């Protein structure tokens, strides 16, 4: 777990350094363009500078971690667009821009479409990503048209007369990117995009409409098996070996939830055994589901804390004539300790299990993960 966390932190550090370098370059460019009184180019530079913050806003708003292999090409492409605008012919630049927008559009459409209730069709993914990219390209051309008209000068190598041609070449680039994306996801079933979509659906099921109400979605989760973002528990309080109530079972459930909160979030299914067989929460022998749910909520309040309830979304879902408790946990913005008998313990995810951290490892993890939140 330490190596995995260290890798994530190193990746974030590299990305932050890359973004800062690009911003410094853009600010230097803005300074020289102001000296030359090329106000149209100044506006373009400032726009691109604002776009460098876009990935961070996406992560903050949607709680999505964007790997450096996706964000790095994005920021480098933005930087390239600024200087290619001056150095290269309009045809090359617009095709380049179209490919960039096409790649971004395809990734977004693939993530959203692959986690919807509609059966995934890669042709539709490619088509909608093409439309998305062309729309962004049109907005860019309108922006260029506006500043070219306002400042009575061309932005870079192209003039106002090439706006329509610029959009055409952007469409060509978007078509190239959408086609390449279609081929990639169709023939690389276990490629990076599939893994990203899978991880996204596990960590953020509530981002999509009513997935938690869909038994087929639960069954699909079960088929994928336990992972760092998914765990199964047969019961909430009953030891199936003794058929008696066992506080160790309750503690195990709370431990898993705590580890999700302290890591990148995840989903807990209570009523499903380690082999993926649906046993149902009926094994806990509560009077009804309301009593079961009330008991679960009280456990969270007593052992984790009521202040963390906003990070936990739980729901009882009927499936195969039984019921399963589905608990979706977001990543907490501060450290969470599991309390029991006046003792506090700290857990994180390590693969498909929850691991306790103590001493220097606990301090190091808390400082690295929560100091900036």
Q: What is the pLDDT of residues 183-193, one digit of tens each?
A: 877 776 556 66
- pLDDT tops 50 at residue 312: yes
**Highest mean pLDDT pick, 113-127, 142-156, 177-191, 284-298:** 284-298
**Which contacts of 235-242 are long-range, i.e. CB under 8 A and separated by 24 or more positions?**
235/270, 235/271, 235/279, 235/281, 235/283, 235/284, 236/270, 236/281, 236/284, 236/292, 236/295, 236/296, 236/299, 236/325, 237/284, 237/295, 238/283, 238/284, 238/285, 240/283
Domain end (from 148, 168, 202): 202
Same domain, 274 and 327: yes
Q: What is the pLDDT of residue 58?
A: 66
* CA dihedral sign, ordered 14, 19, 22, 27: negative
Same domain, 132 and 220: no
- pLDDT tops 80 at residue 327: yes
Work out the average pLDDT over 130-148.
77
Same domain, 188 and 238: no
Same domain, 228 and 176: no
Q: What is the DSSP string of 282-333?
A: GGG--SSHHHHHHHHHHHHHHHT-GGGGGGEEEEEEEETTEEEEEEEEPPPS
Q: Residue 254's closest CA among 196, 314, 202? A: 314
Full residue range of the structural domain in which residue 61 is found: 2-202
Same domain, 195 and 213: no
Higher pLDDT among residues 2 and 149, named by residue? 149
Q: What is the pLDDT of residue 259?
A: 95
Domain end (from 202, 228, 258): 202
How many angstroms from the chain centroid is the CA of residue 112?
A: 11
Q: For the chain, what is the mean pLDDT?
A: 77
Same domain, 215 and 364: yes
Same domain, 6 and 128: yes
- Residue 349's domain is classified under what CATH number? 3.30.950.30
- Other Cβ atoms within 10 Å of 353 Cβ, number: 14
Same domain, 20 and 147: yes
At residue 198, what are phi and psi to the nearest 5 degrees?
Answer: -65, -45
Domain end (from 167, 202, 237): 202
Work out the average pLDDT over 28-47.
79
Same domain, 189 and 232: no
Report how many domains make up the chain. 2
Same domain, 148 and 284: no
The pLDDT confidence band at residue 156, using thresholds 50, 70 and 90, is: very low
Percent of the chain with pLDDT over 90: 23
Q: Is 63 left (phi over 0), alpha (psi -120 to 50) or beta?
A: left
The pLDDT confidence band at residue 78, using thresholds 50, 70 and 90, is: low
Report how far residue 337's alpha carbon sits from residue 334's, in angstroms, rounded to the nearest whole number. Answer: 10
At residue 54, what are phi and psi to the nearest 5 degrees?
Answer: -60, -50
Same domain, 228 and 159: no
DSSP structure class, residue 350: E
- pLDDT tops 60 at residue 373: no
Strands 312-319 and 322-329: antiparallel
Same domain, 187 and 223: no
């Amino acid at each position: 777990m330490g190596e995995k966390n260290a890798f994530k932190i190193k990746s974030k550090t590299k990305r932050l350094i890359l973004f800062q370098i690009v911003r410094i370059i853009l600010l230097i460019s803005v300074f020289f363009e102001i000296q030359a009184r090329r106000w149209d180019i100044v506006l373009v530079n400032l726009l691109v500078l604002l776009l460098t913050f876009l990935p961070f806003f996406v992560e903050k708003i949607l709680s999505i971690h964007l790997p450096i292999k996706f964000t790095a090409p994005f920021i480098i492409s933005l930087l390239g667009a600024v200087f290619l605008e001056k150095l290269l012919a309009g045809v090359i630049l617009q095709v380049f821009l179209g490919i960039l927008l096409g790649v971004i559009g395809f990734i977004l459409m693939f993530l959203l479409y692959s986690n919807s209730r509609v059966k995934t069709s890669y042709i539709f993914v490619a088509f909608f990503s093409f439309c998305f990219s062309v729309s962004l390209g049109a907005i860019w051309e309108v922006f260029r048209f506006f500043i070219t008209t306002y400042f009575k000068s061309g932005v870079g190598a192209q003039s106002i007369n090439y706006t329509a041609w610029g959009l055409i070449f952007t469409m060509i680039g978007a078509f190239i990117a959408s086609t390449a994306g279609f081929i990639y996801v169709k023939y690389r079933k276990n490629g990076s995009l599939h893994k990203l979509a899978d991880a996204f659906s596990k960590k953020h099921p509530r981002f999509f409409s009513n997935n938690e109400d869909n038994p087929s979605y639960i069954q699909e989760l079960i088929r994928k098996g336990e992972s760092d973002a998914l765990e199964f528990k047969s019961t909430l309080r009953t030891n199936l070996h003794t058929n008696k109530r066992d506080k160790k079972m309750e503690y195990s459930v709370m431990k898993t939830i705590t580890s999700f909160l302290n890591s990148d979030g995840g989903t807990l299914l209570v009523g499903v055994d380690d082999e993926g067989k649906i046993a149902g929460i009926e094994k806990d022998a509560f009077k009804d589901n309301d009593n079961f749910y009330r008991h679960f909520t009280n456990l969270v309040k007593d052992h984790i804390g009521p202040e963390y309830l906003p990070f936990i979304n739980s729901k009882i879902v009927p499936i195969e004539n039984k019921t399963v408790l589905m608990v979706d946990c977001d990543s907490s913005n501060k450290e969470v300790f599991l309390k029991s008998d006046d003792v506090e313990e700290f857990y994180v995810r390590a693969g498909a299990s929850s691991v306790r951290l103590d001493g220097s490892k606990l301090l190091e993890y808390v400082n690295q993960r929560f100091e900036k939140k």
